[in-house]
Amino acid sequence: FTISSSEGGRYLDAPLQTGASAWSMAGIARVASPAFPLALFVRCAFRLVHPWPERRDLWTVVSLTVGAPLYDVTFRDGFVGDVLTSAVRPLQDLAYTVFFLPAGLDAWRVGGLYYVPGGDGGGGGTFDDAAASVPLERNWALHTVVLPACAMSPMWWRYLQNLRRCHDDRRRWPHLGNAAKYLAAAEVACFASYDPSVRSNPVWVFCFVAATVYQVWWDVFQDWGLLEWDHVGRRFRLRTARLYRGDWVYHAIAAGNACLRFVGMVTLIPPVYLSRATGLLVIGRGGPGIRMAAETAAACAELFRRTAWALLRVEWEVIRTDGAAASSSTVAVDGDGPAAIGGPGLDSLGMLEPMSIELSGDVRGPGRRAPSIRARKWWREGVTLES
Q: Could you read off the pLDDT of 128-150 as tens digits, one per residue?
A: 444 444 466 677 888 888 988 99
Contact 126, 41 (CB under 8 A): no
Average pLDDT (344-356) is 45
Phi, psi angle pair for 125, to nearest 5°: 180, 170
Average pLDDT (161-186) is 95
Q: Is 166 left (phi over 0), alpha (psi -120 to 50) or beta?
A: alpha
| Nearest-angstrom CA–CA distance, 44 and 154 | 22
Q: Look at residue 262 and give its three-state secondary structure.
A: helix
Contact 150, 88 (CB under 8 A): yes
Residue with more model confidence, 127 or 13: 13
E strand or H helix at 115, and its extent? strand 115-117
Q: Which amino acid is at 211?
A: A
| Nearest-angstrom CA–CA distance, 29 and 2 | 9
Q: Is the dihedral of CA 243, 249, 253, 255 positive or negative?
A: positive
Could you write out the DSSP letters of every residue in 277-289?
Answer: TT--EEE-SS-HH
- Strand-strand pairing, 272-274 and 227-230: unpaired
CA dihedral angle for residue 173, residue 175, residue 177, residue 182, rounded to 10 degrees: 180
The partner residues of 236 in beta bridges, in order of sequence, read: 229
Range from 125-129, 169-173, 282-286, 294-298 carrying the lowest mean pLDDT: 125-129
Q: Look at residue 273 and give its three-state secondary structure.
A: strand
Q: Could you read off the pLDDT of 25-81 as tens digits, one per residue?
A: 666 666 676 677 778 888 988 999 999 999 999 999 999 999 988 999 999 999 999
Whether pLDDT at 209 is above 70: yes
